[in-house]
Amino acid sequence: MIVALAVAPVVLVTMLIGLRGVAAMRTTSDFLVASRRVSPLLNSAAVSGEYLSAASFLGVAGLVVKDGIGSLWYPVGFTAGYIAMLALVAAPMRRSGALTVPDFAEARLGSAALRRLAAVVVLVIGVLYLVPQFRTAGLVLSVVTETPYWVGVVLAGGVVSATLALGGMRAATYVQAFQFVFKLVLFIVPAMWLLIQAGPEVRTDAVQPSEFTHFSHDTTVTFRVGATLDVPPGAEVIDREDGPRELRPGAWEVPPGTTVTFADGTPVPEVRGEAVPGADGWERPLLDFDDEGYPLLGTWAVLIATMLGTMGLPHVIMRFHTSPDGRAARRTAAFTVALLSVFYLFPGIYGVLGRVLVPHLYLTGATDSAVVALPAQVDDGTAGTVFTGLLTAGAFAAFLATSLGLLLVVSGAISHDLVPGGLRQLRLAVVGAAAVIVLLALPAATFDAGTLVTWGFTVAASTFCPLLVLGIWWRRLTAAGALSGVAAGLVSTIGSFLLNVAGPDLHGWVAILVAQPAPWTVPLAFVTMVVVSRLGRPAPWATAAMLRLHLHEHRLSPFVSRTQSDGAARDLGHSSWPARRSSAVRRITRRLGR
């Protein structure tokens, strides 16, 4: 009940703030980029609020419980992406004046085919990223309130699409900025309380990793999804009626929906294909996937995907377009690094406490819910319930904020880039896209949120990252080069995912490069773009189009600057048009090549 009381205000405030944005909404630009009037601080709070998704709020701590301390590299990559963005993309992208990434592609390279391909990539990233958000919303609500899974999914879909269809980006900005502060407080305060409340014994255990081999108390585990366990000899469960009974050693297929209470002191069953929390290698600060023995490769692969993927995430790029100018966009990126750095100091605390207090979550694969499961372990009174409620509210805010931004870019891709239309169509697209995502999320309860989100990052890193970096900094990029590079990145990443899901059992470094394909798909996309562009000729206006992105807005008016800075040598004051002929531009830009 108290949890419902915690989630309801989040939902209500989201809707109320959303409604504030409705009155001033007139055009597509209002809807998509809040008419570009958002200050850097507000915008960076909104960027951070949007970016701290379920994967950050719950996922990182869950991965630490499951895979080890090395999972703390994910947040480092998430944050580092904003520095790359600040240095390479933020200001020029804003100065392009485009509304969405496909818009930018068309403005820079003049190809309608590229625009449509970019819109398709936005849809792919959006779906890969939105489905796990809705799934986790459903899962967390079902864990803490005993409601069925679909209730949470439908509730999340309804609130997000209603807020967005009415208020657009303006509403989303205020909602996300509010939710960043909300999430920050709801993450830091419970972390401190947990650390203090847990007591010296748990704190010592937290920094002395030991393998989870025996249950330290009677532990009730609910299997929402079926699992296959390897039961060791001597494992006991407690039946509600019959009291303790010993399990038959060997494989045990647990059907979905079973609740099992393991007895105090009995050995822990193992999950097929998963390492036990606290096992050898858990304490290593590197990501050794499936214990294949390539920790450095695994860590670097994740860092490449998250860092370069951040630069290409369409909903983050869209947020930079709400800044009034390129300078504000750059400031937004820098402030975002600072805000995220504060937040990411804390997931590790939940992770190491979770390994001590709730290691049994690994049996069900639901380590995602470690953060919300912790308070009840530390305090079974009112305080524990209150903190569970607060963390659930924070987690719900995380899904809402991220889903708002993603749904906005998905509907923007449909209604602005694929089938251009007016504001009403854009609103309909929001509702339609939300309905489709809800339908996709309903059967996705078994998917690992972390995997899907990392795939979203990998797709972004191998498609939009090369497109933006080369589009902004390399004047010889051609439309054909960009098209083939984006296509190569998209096909190779999706092929790699399919191979990973349905393909043969792989081992060694090949397995890591198939599961985490960023180290080869990103260079592949870059090389394809460069080689194909080199084979063709860039359009005559390409250099001007690229340089235009680097020209800052707060320069003098052309009429003043000409008479002042160029003096009498060139009289361009009468009519600028002859001088703007592309031949004149070419003559001057030839200098660049020398």
Place of tokens 């805010």: 397
Can residue 498 be called a binding residue for other proteins (CB under 8 A)? no
CB of 461 to other proteins, least distance (A): 14
Can residue 561 be called a binding residue for other proteins (CB under 8 A)? yes
* End-to-end CA, the chain: 71
CA distance 547 to 72: 39
CB of 553 to other proteins, least distance (A): 4
560: burial class by Cβ within 10 Å (0-12, 13-18, 19+)? exposed
Count of residues of this chain found to bind other proteins when the rule CB under 8 A is applied:
99
Can residue 565 be called a binding residue for other proteins (CB under 8 A)? yes
CB of 299 to other proteins, least distance (A): 4
**Spatial CB neighbours of 518, under 8 Å, sequence gap ≥ 6:** 301, 302, 304, 305, 308, 309, 457, 458, 461, 462
CB of 366 to other proteins, least distance (A): 25
510: burial class by Cβ within 10 Å (0-12, 13-18, 19+)? exposed
Q: Measuring CA to CA, which residue among 518, 521, 365 is closest to residue 454?
A: 518
CB of 7 to other proteins, least distance (A): 28
Q: Which of 217, 564, 568, 569 binds other proteins (CB under 8 A)?
A: 564
Binding part of the chain for other proteins, among 49-57, 241-249, 341-349, 476-484 by CB under 8 A, reads 341-349
Q: Which is nearer to other proteins, 199 or 422 (CB)?
A: 422
Q: Which of 4, 16, 185, 338 binds other proteins (CB under 8 A)?
A: 338
Question: Cα dist. 220→216, 262, 446, 481, 498 in Å?
Answer: 12, 6, 20, 57, 36
Q: x/- site string to other proteins, residues 469 to 488, per CB under 8 A?
A: ----x---------------
Q: Which of 150, 252, 447, 541 binds other proteins (CB under 8 A)?
A: 541
Q: Which is nearer to other proteins, 86 or 139 (CB)?
A: 86
Can residue 337 be called a binding residue for other proteins (CB under 8 A)? yes
Q: Which is nearer to other proteins, 237 or 479 (CB)?
A: 479
CB of 136 to other proteins, least distance (A): 24
Q: Which of residues 408-447 bind other proteins (CB under 8 A)?
A: 420-424
Q: Which of residues 213-272 bind other proteins (CB under 8 A)?
A: none
Residues 462 and 493: beta-carbon distance below 8 Å: yes
Q: Which of 42, 60, 80, 395 binds other proteins (CB under 8 A)?
A: 80
> Would you call 228 helix, strand, or coil by DSSP?
strand
CB of 57 to other proteins, least distance (A): 17
Q: Which is nearer to other proteins, 339 or 438 (CB)?
A: 339
The angle formed by the CA atoms of residues 185, 343 and 386, to the nearest 5 degrees, is: 30
Place of tokens 């002395």: 208
Can residue 334 be called a binding residue for other proteins (CB under 8 A)? yes
Three-state secondary structure of 31-69: HHHHHHCCCHHHHHHHHHHHHCCHHHHHHHHHHHHHHCH
- Measured in residues, the chain has a length of 594
CB of 117 to other proteins, least distance (A): 16
Residues 551 and 95: beta-carbon distance below 8 Å: yes
Q: Measuring CA to CA, which residue among 488, 475, 483, 496 is closest to residue 549?
A: 475
Can residue 166 be called a binding residue for other proteins (CB under 8 A)? no
Q: Which is nearer to other proteins, 150 or 473 (CB)?
A: 473
Q: Which of 211, 290, 325, 448 binds other proteins (CB under 8 A)?
A: 325
DSSP secondary structure of 85-132? IIIIIHHHHHHT--SSHHHHHHHHH--HHHHHHHHHHHHHHHHHHHHH
Q: Which of residues 283-322 bind other proteins (CB under 8 A)?
A: 283-286, 295-296, 299-300, 303, 307
Q: Which of 5, 439, 531, 579 binds other proteins (CB under 8 A)?
A: 579
Q: What backbone phi and psi angles, to 5 degrees, belong to 421? A: -155, -175
255: burial class by Cβ within 10 Å (0-12, 13-18, 19+)? exposed
Binding part of the chain for other proteins, among 239-247, 393-401, 523-531, 555-563 by CB under 8 A, reads 555-563
Q: Which of residues 357-416 bind other proteins (CB under 8 A)?
A: none
3-state helix, strand, coil in the chain (%, to 5): 70, 5, 25
Q: How many CB atoms neighbour CB 261 within 10 A? A: 16
Can residue 187 be called a binding residue for other proteins (CB under 8 A)? no
Q: Measuring CA to CA, which residue among 400, 501, 491 is closest to residue 446?
A: 501
Can residue 11 be called a binding residue for other proteins (CB under 8 A)? no
Two structure tokens written together for 263: 């007895």
Q: Which of 9, 97, 199, 536 binds other proteins (CB under 8 A)?
A: 97
Can residue 210 be called a binding residue for other proteins (CB under 8 A)? no
Residues 397 and 159: beta-carbon distance below 8 Å: no
Can residue 353 be called a binding residue for other proteins (CB under 8 A)? no
Can residue 280 be called a binding residue for other proteins (CB under 8 A)? no
Can residue 584 be called a binding residue for other proteins (CB under 8 A)? yes
241: left (phi over 0), alpha (psi -120 to 50) or beta: alpha
Q: x/- site string to other proteins, residues 57 to 76, per CB under 8 A?
A: ------------xx-xx--x
Can residue 77 be called a binding residue for other proteins (CB under 8 A)? yes
Can residue 580 be called a binding residue for other proteins (CB under 8 A)? yes
Can residue 341 be called a binding residue for other proteins (CB under 8 A)? yes
Q: Which of residues 188-207 bind other proteins (CB under 8 A)?
A: 204, 207
Two structure tokens written together for 309: 């993927």
Q: Which of 13, 158, 162, 327 binds other proteins (CB under 8 A)?
A: 327
Strand order from edge to edge, sheet including 227-231: 250-254, 227-231, 270-271
Q: Which is nearer to other proteins, 382 or 557 (CB)?
A: 557
Q: What backbone phi and psi angles, to 5 degrees, belong to 447? A: -70, 145
CB of 383 to other proteins, least distance (A): 26
Can residue 95 be called a binding residue for other proteins (CB under 8 A)? yes
Q: Which of 54, 99, 308, 437 binds other proteins (CB under 8 A)?
A: 99
Can residue 106 be called a binding residue for other proteins (CB under 8 A)? yes
Q: Which of residues 25-64 bind other proteins (CB under 8 A)?
A: 25-28, 36
